[in-house]
Amino acid sequence: MSKDTQLKAARRGIVTPAMAVVAQKEHRSEDFILQGVADGRIVIPCNINHRNLQPMGIGRDLYTKINANIGNSSLTGTAAGELKKLQSVLTYGADTVMDLSTGGDIPLIRRSILAQSTIPVGTVPIYELVARYTRQGLTGENLLTIIREQAEQGVDYMTIHAGLLQKHLPAALKRKLGIVSRGGALIAAHMVENDCENPFYTAFDRILDICAQYDVTLSLGDGLRPGCLADASDEAQFSELDVLGELAQRCRQAGVQVMIEGPGHIPLDEIAMNMQREQAVCNDAPFYILGPVVIDCAPGYDHLVGAMGGMMGAFHGAAMLCYVTPKEHIGLPDDEDVRRGIMAFRIAAHAADVALKKPGARWRDDAISDARESFDWEKQFELAIDPARARQYRTEALQASNQPNLHGGEYCTMCGPDFCSVRLSKILKNSCKK
């Protein structure tokens, strides 16, 4: 008999070691986590073969998590390069990482990543499938082979685009930007070329068997996510979501943990509605959203545009945000792009958590404000979301002002000592105490 999945264990009332770890990290009781997992509101992606994983929970009652994508493209990127990106991802503080490699020795890259990653690792199996067998090899047997191999290696969660069906294609292809999900477009092309149904949909029960065996969490991909504001919240998007809702039910019946992936490009005023709709249609399965970017016209700044949407998504109930980098819509990100993407989304997640008053969420803000008041620059850097960057900027500003001896002083180069409000205010506070 295979091990219980977290979901099956929770239903039997067993607090697993992973649940205990999650409870501690989240400042919640073990019973709270147990109940959340049992109900499917919380998932803990932890493949039984991912040995050095530090378990982490995803659900809207927990801290908002962020995912960073790495992986080469078919044009560029090596295993060594991907491991370097993984180190960045861990250093900069993402909660999960997805390996989206589509070229080179994909199993080797993934094995190296799994060996070194202490955070959950996700994949999109169709990428390896198409890279290995070409699009013509997109059959049920081949995809089960890939999924089984990846599960056996220790992949914690997999995105499969099982909700995009033949019947959705007319609405999808009428759109301004059609199908912008890579997985979705590959499957659509396969369905059109072979006049067949989505093989991930037809093989779904057999996929569930594999996932149950290794406790792979399924992340039901949104192959029809809108790729521009004009396509947001349309028939194609919501028809697929309805299918995802049904598939989520089947996951739970099979004891497989499940989350739902979300849009995409959504204007600010439609974000709350999108979050509520997912919760209703998918029975509170954690919503894992990509951005959403709230405007289309800022290439070069989409990390910021996506983080803005992500913040509002999290505020209205998304559980995890997939980062977007400044190179989105332009090219493959480099290390600095990865850093900026992660930081933008950590900020978005934290802003939502603070606003939602999640337990303990604001301690860091209060502590850094105390450090500001006392001009403890080192403490401010330590508490900063990106300590190295904050320190670097202060050093740069001091150098630009030819006042490097200011370091440690009770003011900064923004105002200088005579105009420093914090310094003045502190003097006033003290004088009024006398």
- Choices 21-29, 39-47, 58-66, 401-409 (CB under 8 A): range interacting with a copy of itself: 401-409
Number of C-beta neighbours around residue 433 at 10 A: 6
Pick from 3, 24, 52, 419: which binds a copy of itself (CB under 8 A)? Answer: 419
Minimum CB separation of residue 135 from a copy of itself in Å reads: 8
DSSP 180: -
Taking CB under 8 A as the criterion, which residues in 126-185 touch a copy of itself?
127, 130, 169-170, 173, 176-182, 184-185
Minimum CB separation of residue 269 from a copy of itself in Å reads: 4
Non-local CB neighbours of 329 within 8 Å, separated by 6+ positions: 299, 302
Size of the site for a copy of itself (CB under 8 A): 111
Residue 422 is a binding residue for a copy of itself (CB under 8 A): yes
Minimum CB separation of residue 127 from a copy of itself in Å reads: 7
Of the two residues 3 and 167, which places its CB atom closer to a copy of itself in the complex? 167
Minimum CB separation of residue 287 from a copy of itself in Å reads: 18
Residue 123's beta-bridge partner residues? Answer: 99, 158
Distance (Å, whole) CA 73 – CA 37: 35
Residue 216 is a binding residue for a copy of itself (CB under 8 A): no
Of the two residues 55 and 77, which places its CB atom closer to a copy of itself in the complex? 77
DSSP 72: -
Q: What is the DSSP string of 282-326?
A: TTTPPEEEE--BS-SS-TT-HHHHHHHHHHHHHHTT--EEE---T
- Choices 41-49, 160-168, 266-274, 281-289 (CB under 8 A): range interacting with a copy of itself: 266-274
Distance (Å, whole) CA 286 – CA 6: 15
Beta carbons of 344 and 305 less than 8 angstroms apart = no
Taking CB under 8 A as the criterion, which residues in 284-303 touch a copy of itself?
294-301
- Choices 20-28, 88-96, 138-146, 351-359 (CB under 8 A): range interacting with a copy of itself: 351-359
Residue 264 is a binding residue for a copy of itself (CB under 8 A): no
Residue 268 is a binding residue for a copy of itself (CB under 8 A): yes
Distance (Å, whole) CA 74 – CA 277: 36
Residue 242 is a binding residue for a copy of itself (CB under 8 A): no
Distance (Å, whole) CA 256 – CA 158: 12
Residue 83 is a binding residue for a copy of itself (CB under 8 A): no
Minimum CB separation of residue 66 from a copy of itself in Å reads: 14
Of the two residues 17 and 404, which places its CB atom closer to a copy of itself in the complex? 404
Non-local CB neighbours of 103 within 8 Å, separated by 6+ positions: 72, 73, 74, 75, 76, 77, 131
Helices (H), 316-362: 335-355
Non-local CB neighbours of 378 within 8 Å, separated by 6+ positions: none
Helix (H) or strand (E) holding 66: strand 65-70
Pick from 149, 242, 334, 376: which binds a copy of itself (CB under 8 A)? Answer: 334
Pick from 24, 194, 280, 393: which binds a copy of itself (CB under 8 A)? Answer: 393
Pick from 90, 347, 375, 379: which binds a copy of itself (CB under 8 A)? Answer: 347
Reference 139, options 81, 99, 180, 197; nearest CA is: 197
Residue 408 is a binding residue for a copy of itself (CB under 8 A): no
Residue 107 is a binding residue for a copy of itself (CB under 8 A): no
Residue 60 is a binding residue for a copy of itself (CB under 8 A): no
Residue 394 is a binding residue for a copy of itself (CB under 8 A): yes
Distance (Å, whole) CA 354 – CA 79: 38
Reference 119, options 149, 148, 83, 89; nearest CA is: 89
For the chain, the maximum distance between any two Cα atoms, rounded to a whole number of angstroms, is 84
Reference 256, options 83, 71, 4; nearest CA is: 4
Taking CB under 8 A as the criterion, which residues in 195-214 touch a copy of itself?
none
Minimum CB separation of residue 431 from a copy of itself in Å reads: 7
- Choices 146-154, 214-222, 280-288, 399-407 (CB under 8 A): range interacting with a copy of itself: 399-407
Task: Please give the torsion angle defined by the CA atoms of residues 262, 251, 219 and 185, in that order, rounded to the nearest 10 degrees.
Answer: -70
Residue 375 is a binding residue for a copy of itself (CB under 8 A): no
Residue 362 is a binding residue for a copy of itself (CB under 8 A): yes
Pick from 49, 73, 139, 233: which binds a copy of itself (CB under 8 A)? Answer: 73
Pick from 158, 188, 243, 254: which binds a copy of itself (CB under 8 A)? Answer: 188
Peptide bond into 17 cis (omega under 30): no
